[in-house]
Amino acid sequence: MQRIHCSIIPPHLLTRLAAVRDGRLAVASEAARHALLELPPVLQVREQALRAPVRHGSALPGTLVRRISDAGGREELPGVLVRPEGGPATGDAAVDEAYEGLGATYRLFDEEYGRSSVDGAGRPLEATVHYGSHYDNAFWDGERMVFGDGDGEVFGRFTASLTVISHELTHGFTQYSTNLEYQGQSGALNESLSDVFGVLVEQRELGQDAAAASWLVGAGIFTAAVEGTALRSLAAPGTAYDDDVLGRDPQPATMADYVVTASDNGGVHINSGIPNHAFYLVATGLGGRAWEGAGRIWYDAVLSGSIPPDCDFSTFARATGEAAEKRFGPGSAEAGAVTDAWAQVGVLP
Q: Catalytic: which of 34, 134, 269, 277?
A: 269
168 is catalytic: yes
Distance CA 177, CA 113 (A): 14
Bridge-partner residues for 221, per DSSP?
none
Using left for φ > 0, alpha for ψ between -120 and 50, and beta otherwise, residue 111 falls in alpha
Number of neighbouring beta carbons within 10 Å of residue 10: 23
One fold for both 6-175 and 184-344?
no
Lowest mean pLDDT segment, chosen from 37-51, 155-169, 239-253: 37-51
Q: With a cut of 60, say whether residue 173 has pLDDT above it.
A: yes
Distance CA 42, CA 48 (A): 14
Distance CA 99, CA 102 (A): 5
Domain layout of the chain by residue ranges: 6-175, 184-344
The string of pLDDT tens digits covering residues 38-86 is 775 333 433 444 445 555 554 455 689 999 999 999 999 999 999 999 9
Q: Catalytic: which of 38, 153, 168, 334?
A: 168
Could you tell me which residues come within 8 angstroms of residue 59 by beta carbon, excluding any fewer than 6 positions away? none
269 is catalytic: yes
> E-assigned strands of 106-177?
125-129, 138-140, 145-147
Distance CA 199, CA 222 (A): 17
184-344 has CATH 1.10.390.10 classification: yes
Number of neighbouring beta carbons within 10 Å of residue 317: 21
- Does the pTM surpass 0.85? The reply is yes
The whole-number pLDDT of residue 47 equals 40
6-175 adopts what CATH topology?
Elastase; domain 1 (3.10.170)
Q: Is the previous residue joined to 78 through a cis bond, with omega within 30 degrees of 0?
A: yes
